[in-house]
């Protein structure tokens, strides 16, 4: 009997700086109720779902940033209502937020997502590893992208949890641009990957056609789901926040790489799909049978080398300290 989980992507429209957390939570609860009414058992909310996408702003006063945009507790007085409603409806969810954590006496700040069970318990936590953008102020830029200033690199790695009779992993936004992140989850048996995102329509660095950014978003989601034989739910916070636009295109992608559901607005919107979790069995048994086909002995560079370096096989090179003598991990055979 196939395992089926009806999953919802609960897309949020804009949250302006003037929007309170309570207003955000009210909208999240309305989305949760709609998802529940449509039979969903798991709802994926966006990245940083409680506030505006504040990394677009240079805010010098850290206390102001902490007070206005970070959560020191989860649930907090503002988010308790969401936890209560989730428990009342018996529905599980992924929630993205900015976390301040006291780790061994030191305050640390992360772009975080949690997996909450139908009983309201926090089953798992993920802290965003791939932080895009910059740490310094770019006064000439039309907007900032200060995730490297406001957050630390996540310290929990890429993990999966047994959740609603499935193996579920979590990622956040920019992680979807790095195949390694999905593969580490798939190597742990991920059957569902939940990912919230906030992606600006405009490119900070050069005039990129907005349609091209969406094209990238769509091909990455389809390829990551297919190449790792997992369901992939990607939920946007989108629309125009204080004049700055982010695109929607929330997605539910099947392990076949097919888009099963896609949002059509840049507002609060629920999309749902009744996911057959066993759909990936054939893929995992044949084309993407990792044990049968992967050759890690040839992949060493992926872990050893951070940035790209031109190292042609027909030009001798001195291996860096700590790198294997053969550099690319293959023999010097021509
Ligand atoms: N947002 C964007 C994302 O990766 C970005 C940032 C966009 C980086 C396009 C590079 C290119 O979708 C977040 N929050 O990561």
Cα(1) to centroid(ligand 1), Å: 39
Atom of ligand 1 at shortest distance to CA of 128? 15
Query: How far is Cα 249 from Cα 217, in angstroms, rounded to an integer?
Result: 8
- CA-to-CA separations, 21 to 10, 17, 67, 250, in angstroms, rounded: 17, 10, 12, 22
CA pair distance 134, 311, nearest whole angstrom:
28
CA-closest residue to ligand 1 atom 2: 199
Instruction: Name the residue with higher pLDDT: 84 or 316.
Output: 84
Provide the β-strand partners of residue 43.
8, 93
User: What is the signed CA dihedral for 243, 195, 123, 100, rounded to 10 degrees?
Assistant: -40
CA angle 300, 181, 228 (to 5 degrees): 95
Q: What is the pLDDT of residues 164-208, one digit of tens each?
A: 999 999 999 999 999 999 999 999 999 999 999 999 999 988 899
158-181 core/surface letters (b: 16 or more CB in 10 A; e: else): bebbebbebbbbbbbbbbbeeeeb
Fold entry, domain 4-292: Nitrilase/N-carbamoyl-D-aminoacid amidohydrolase (3.60.110)
pLDDT score for 323: 61
- For residue 6, pLDDT over 90 is answered with yes
**Residues with a CB atom less than 6 Å from ligand 1:** 132, 173-174, 177, 197-199
Q: What is the pLDDT of residue 324?
A: 59
Task: Give residue 1's pLDDT band: very low, low, confident or very high (50, 70, 90).
Answer: confident
213 Cα: distance to centroid of ligand 1 (angstroms): 10
- Ligand 1: centre distance to CA 101 (Å): 24
Residue with tokens 């919107």: 269
Q: Which own/partner contact pairs does 183-187 have at CB distance under 8 Å and 24+ positions apart?
A: 183/227, 183/228, 184/157, 184/158, 185/158, 185/159, 185/160, 185/228, 185/230, 186/228, 186/229, 186/230, 186/288, 186/290, 187/290
The minimum-distance atom of ligand 1 relative to the CA of 147 is: 14
pLDDT tops 80 at residue 327? no
Which ligand 1 atom is nearest residue 174's CA? 4
Kindly state the average pLDDT of the residues 259-270: 98
Rounded mean pLDDT of 28-54? 98
Catalytic site positions: 47, 128, 173
* DSSP designation for 296: G
**Separation of alpha carbons 127 and 210, rounded Å:** 28
39 in Cβ contact with 4 (< 8 Å): no
**Alpha carbon 137 to its chain's center:** 25
The angle subtended at Cα 215 by Cα 209 and Cα 221, nearest 5°, is: 145
Under the banding of pLDDT at 50, 70 and 90, the label for residue 68 is very high
Cα 173 to ligand 1 centre (Å)? 7
pLDDT tens readout for residues 200-242:
999 988 899 999 999 999 999 999 999 999 999 999 999 999 9
pLDDT of residue 322: 62
For residues 45-78, one letter each, b for 16 or more C-beta atoms within 10 angstroms of the residue's C-beta and e for the rest, the string is bbbbbbbbbbbbbebeeeeebbebbbbeebbeeb
The ranges of the chain annotated as CATH 3.60.110.10 are 4-292
Could you give the 3-state DSSP secondary structure of residue 232? Answer: strand
How far apart CA 235 and CA 221 sit, in angstroms, is: 11
Residue 249: which of 267, 275, 224, 273 has the closest Cα? 267
Q: What is the DSSP string of 234-259?
A: EEEB-EEETTEEE----EEE-TTS-E
pLDDT at 333 over 60: no
pLDDT in tens, 95-140: 999 999 999 999 999 999 999 999 999 999 999 999 999 999 999 9
Pocket test for ligand 1, best of 145, 207, 221 (most atoms within 8 A of CB): 145
Q: 0.85 cut: is pTM over it?
A: yes
Nearest atom, ligand 1, residue 53 CA: 14
């Amino acid at each position: 009997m196939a395992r089926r989980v009806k999953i919802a992507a609960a897309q949020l429209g804009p949250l302006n700086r003037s929007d309170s957390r309570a207003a955000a939570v009210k909208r999240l609860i309305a989305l949760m109720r709609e998802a529940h009414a449509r039979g969903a058992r798991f709802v994926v909310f966006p990245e940083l779902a409680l506030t505006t996408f504040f990394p677009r702003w240079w805010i010098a006063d850290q206390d102001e940033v902490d007070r206005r945009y970070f959560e020191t507790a989860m649930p907090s007085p503002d988010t308790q209502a969401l936890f209560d409603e989730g428990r009342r409806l018996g529905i599980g969810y992924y929630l993205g937020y900015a976390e301040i954590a006291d780790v061994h006496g030191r305050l640390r700040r992360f772009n975080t997502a949690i997996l909450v069970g139908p009983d309201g318990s926090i089953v798992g936590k993920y802290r965003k590893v791939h932080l895009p953008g910059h740490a310094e102020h770019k006064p000439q830029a039309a907007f900032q992208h200060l995730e490297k200033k406001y957050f630390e690199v996540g310290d929990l790695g890429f993990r999966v949890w047994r959740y609603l009779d499935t193996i579920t992993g979590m990622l956040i936004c920019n992680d979807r641009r790095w195949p390694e992140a999905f593969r580490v989850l798939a190597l742990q048996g991920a059957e569902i990957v939940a990912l919230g995102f906030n992606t600006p329509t405009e490119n900070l660095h050069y005039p990129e056609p907005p349609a091209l950014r969406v094209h990238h978003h769509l091909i990455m989601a389809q390829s990551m789901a297919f190449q790792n034989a997992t369901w992939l739910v990607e939920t946007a916070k989108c629309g125009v926040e204080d004049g700055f636009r982010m695109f929607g295109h929330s997605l539910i992608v099947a392990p076949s790489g097919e888009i099963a559901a896609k949002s059509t607005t840049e507002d609060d919107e629920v999309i749902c799909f009744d996911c057959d979790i066993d759909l990936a069995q054939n893929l995992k048994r044949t084309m993407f049978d990792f044990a049968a086909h992967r050759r890690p002995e040839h992949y060493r560079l992926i872990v050893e080398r951070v940035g790209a370096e031109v190292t042609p096989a027909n030009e001798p090179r001195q291996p860096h300290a700590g790198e294997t003598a053969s550099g690319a991990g293959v023999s010097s055979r021509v």
